Amino acid sequence: MSRVLVTGGAGFIGSHLCEKLLAQGDDVICLDNFFTGRRANIVHLLDNNRFEVVRHDIIEPILLEVDRIYHMACPASPVHYQYNPVKTLKTSVMGTINMLGLAKRVRARILLASTSEVYGDPKEHPQKESYWGNVNPLGIRSCYDEGKRVAETLMMDYHRQNAVDVRIIRIFNTYGPRMLFDDGRVVSNFIVQALKGEDITLYGDGSQTRSFCFVDDLVAGIMAMMEQTETTGPVNLGNPLEITVHELGSRVLEMTSSSSKFSFKPLPQDDPTRRKPDITLAERFLGWTPKVPLDEGLKRTVADFKKRLDEAAA
Ligand code: NAD
Ligand code: UDP
């Protein structure tokens, strides 16, 4: 049993993580500023006396007595992280410094939720952890990509300089129940559009690829990474099944029996053309591979969105 801090614990991935940590008997503090997090994501956990919620912005320091820090706080959807790019950078840079300072002071192990975006528009495919990436430092995605790259650097420097016990994971596109309706990411956009009978917004010609991991698989990988002692990482966590965005749209349409049509929109600046994780290290160090097939995960996600949309309409 551990005393665990989850920054960004009221967000999409963070809330699933809090749930699993409580289920294994940990004491969990969920820290969140509720920018993209929602009370609804954690309301079912509030009755548990091992669960606490702290409303706090990680760009300010905080002192908490914990053994483990899952550092998940940062808006992840391009729509949200571009809403206030300077704040996104402060969250990744000052927020990570504050969490590392806390880890150092209370001697907690800290895991950073980094991202496949550190690879930018990758010239190596699939992406291995050894690849340094192809990132535009000046574009509209840079606040997120470069913020996470600095966060990784901070983790390694605190590790080398102050012996902080660190873990870094690079998360690839993840989807599942509890994504926001207006999240702006492709899976949630397509499902909401299909269920409402609205046009499916395909950016560019839809030939760009992504590899989508179901959130339950991802959370199992995150927890395994925290508890293993062989590597600091970075370790990629994602599902290596790669599909085009167009194909994803077709699957969502079929699954929802929707009459929505594709509507083509301009491709956003610096949108990566291909992305697929090499998960050899996750297999070797964590014994981890994703288990939930895309159609199964989409079915569970569609059911959750349908329920919430029905509730919102009632
Ligand atoms: P999310 O936006 O649902 O969750 C982020 C959470 O962090 C929210 O609850 C938000 O309110 C909170 N937060 C943001 N800024 C904060 C601040 N300054 N102080 C305190 N709390 C703050 O996103 P998510 O999809 O759950 O992503 C969680 C983490 O995983 C993020 O660090 C993200 O970069 C990383 N990640 C996610 C994906 C993905 O596909 N979902 C992919 C790669 C990396
Ligand atoms: N995308 C799309 N329609 C949408 C939202 C996204 O075609 O309504 C595309 C987007 O251009 C990108 C892919 O889907 O190529 C994944 O986008 P998302 O924002 O989910 O994640 P990221 O670009 O960060 O991988």
- Ligand number nearest CA of 243 is 2
The per-residue pLDDT for range 167-184, each reduced to its tens digit, is 999 999 999 999 999 889
Average pLDDT, the chain: 97
Q: In angstroms, rounded to a whole number, what is the distance separating the alpha carbons of residues 56 and 125?
A: 39
Give the orientation angle of helix 186-196 with respect to helix 294-313, to 10 degrees.
60
pLDDT at 191: 97
Domains of the chain, residue spans:
3-175+214-237, 186-209+241-273+292-313
Structure tokens belonging to residue 49: 């006396």
The per-residue pLDDT for range 82-106, each reduced to its tens digit, is 999 999 999 999 999 999 999 999 9
3-state secondary structure of 23: helix
Confidence class for position 289, pLDDT limits 50, 70, 90: very high
- Ligand number nearest CA of 239 is 1
Amino acid at position 16, single letter: H
pLDDT at 141: 94
Residues above pLDDT 70, as percent of the chain: 100
Specify the CATH class of 3-175+214-237 in words. Answer: alpha beta
pLDDT at 314: 84
3-state secondary structure of 171: strand
Atom index in ligand 1 nearest the CA of residue 180 equals 3
The per-residue pLDDT for range 112-125, each reduced to its tens digit, is 999 999 999 999 99
pLDDT at 241: 96
Residue 270 has pLDDT above 90, yes or no: no
Distances (CA, A) of 92 to 62, 100, 165: 16, 12, 19
Residues with CB under 6 A from ligand 2: 78, 173, 185-186, 189, 201-203, 208, 210, 245, 267-268, 271
Q: What is the reported pTM?
A: 0.97
Q: In angstroms, rounded to a whole number, what is the distance separating the alpha carbons of residues 211 and 213?
A: 7
The per-residue pLDDT for range 8-66, each reduced to its tens digit, is 999 999 999 999 999 999 999 999 999 999 999 999 999 999 999 999 999 999 999 99
Structure tokens belonging to residue 276: 């697929």
CATH number for the domain whose boundaries are 186-209+241-273+292-313: 3.90.25.10
The per-residue pLDDT for range 136-168, each reduced to its tens digit, is 999 999 999 999 999 999 999 999 999 999 999
Distances (CA, A) of 123 to 65, 192, 309: 43, 33, 40
144 as an active site residue: the answer is: yes
Residue 1 has pLDDT above 80, yes or no: no
Nearest CA to ligand 1 atom 27: 76
Dihedral sign, Cα of residue 267, residue 269, residue 272, residue 273? positive
